[in-house]
Structure 1
Amino acid sequence: MTHKSAPSRTTAGAGGPVVAVCRGHRCVGLHRMAGTAEQVENLQEVVKATAGAVLISSPCLGRCEMASLVAVARRDGPSGQVGPTVWLSGLEEPHRVEALSRWIASGGPQRIHQPEHGAPEPLQDAVSGFGPPPTVSRRAR
């Protein structure tokens, strides 16, 4: 899976949420049909404004049967270690996108090995599984 990180004003020592957003054709199309494309774009601004947060835009994650996908993890500031991800599905639904933005703005998961801990209620029923930490690499500029 190839990831690219969005530019961020994050300091190297700050921990925070890591948010991986599927930008595959189906997920993007679901957001357009549901009218949530702008909310997903606003998520980038939320991440930029959240201390220590990192946004990863990914091409198709290959799980199209799960509707629009987002993965969330916690990154430890001092070590840079990223914990496992919680996979959230159905993120084309407005109440889930809004809940995700609020959760990330409040700092996202606070426990590196329990990425679902503290997720708001609209996201609890969106939990579709757990995965390994995402690999984050910066693009050469």
Structure 2
Amino acid sequence: MTVLELSSQDASPPAARSGDSARANGDGCVRVVLCRGCCCGSAAKIPGTDHDGQLARLRRLAQERPGQVQVRTAECLGPCEQANVVVVRPSVAGRRRGGRPVWLGLVRDEAAIDLLESWLAAGGPGLASLPAALSLQVFPAPKSVGSDRVR
């Protein structure tokens, strides 16, 4: 098992590179990690949520905004009582303006995904204000997070 550190206390991302190289390497990206472990993404544990549809929508946004949004999944981010968990990490520019990783819990309905998509499209942490309805779903990052892999 590897450890995936996504806490608000994590180290700053690598120094930004200029031009296309930075975009190609994802430095300008807001990084989104969706938990898809034992509880998150499971119709058996959370029925009535289109888990595959949520992931498809966010991946489509990433395809429409290459170099701005990157979407990955993780086997387990840990706080199962908050399923479905989504972590949004700021871009380098967002980080420079004070943005920090945002942990969102109970992301289960289309309205939450709508708000998440619009926030990501506007720049995410540090560059755009978190929608008020999403702010109700923010919870503190756990101290450390176990994950078999991030994809």
| Separation in structure 2 between the aligned mates of residue 119 and residue 36 of structure 1, nearest angstrom | 23
Matched, 1:87 2:103: yes
From the two aligned structures, give the one with the greater strand fraction: 1
Instruction: Summarize the Cα distance change of 1:13–1:73 in structure 2 as closer, same or farther, 3 Å threshold.
Output: closer
| Separation in structure 2 between the aligned mates of residue 12 and residue 56 of structure 1, nearest angstrom | 15
Give the deviation of 1:131 after TM superposition: 6.5
Pairing partner for 2:72 from 26, 35, 56: 56
- Counterpart for residue 6 of structure 1: none
Asked if the contact 2:101/2:125 (under 8 Å) is kept, the reply is no
Matched, 1:34 2:43: no
- Secondary structure, in 3 states, of the residue corresponding to 2:88? strand
Give the deviation of 1:23 after TM superposition: 1.0
- Counterpart for residue 118 of structure 1: 129
Q: Percent identity?
A: 26
Give the deviation of 1:2 after TM superposition: 5.2
Give structure 1 regions of 4+ aligned residues with deviation exceeding 6 angstroms: none
**Please, what TM-score do these two structures have when normalized by structure 1?**
0.68
Note the residue ranges of structure 2 that are not aligned, 5 or more in a row. Answer: 6-22, 94-98
Asked if the contact 1:22/1:68 (under 8 Å) is kept, the reply is yes
The Cα RMSD (Å) is 3.2
What amino acid is aligned across from residue 70 of structure 1 in structure 2? V
**Please, what TM-score do these two structures have when normalized by structure 2?**
0.64
Instruction: Summarize the Cα distance change of 1:15–1:131 in structure 2 as closer, same or farther, 3 Å threshold.
Output: farther
- Secondary structure, in 3 states, of the residue corresponding to 1:40? helix
- Counterpart for residue 16 of structure 1: 29
Instruction: Summarize the Cα distance change of 1:25–1:120 in structure 2 as closer, same or farther, 3 Å threshold.
Output: same
| Separation in structure 2 between the aligned mates of residue 89 and residue 13 of structure 1, nearest angstrom | 25
| Separation in structure 2 between the aligned mates of residue 107 and residue 131 of structure 1, nearest angstrom | 24
Instruction: Summarize the Cα distance change of 1:109–1:56 in structure 2 as closer, same or farther, 3 Å threshold.
Output: same
Give the deviation of 1:100 after TM superposition: 0.7
- Secondary structure, in 3 states, of the residue corresponding to 2:34? strand
| Separation in structure 1 between the aligned mates of residue 26 and residue 89 of structure 2, nearest angstrom | 17
Asked if the contact 1:17/1:52 (under 8 Å) is kept, the reply is yes
| Separation in structure 2 between the aligned mates of residue 99 and residue 13 of structure 1, nearest angstrom | 23
- Counterpart for residue 80 of structure 1: none
What amino acid is aligned across from residue 129 of structure 2 in structure 1? G
Note the residue ranges of structure 1 that are not aligned, 5 or more in a row. Answer: 4-9, 78-82, 112-116
Which of the pair has more CA radius of gyration?
Answer: 2
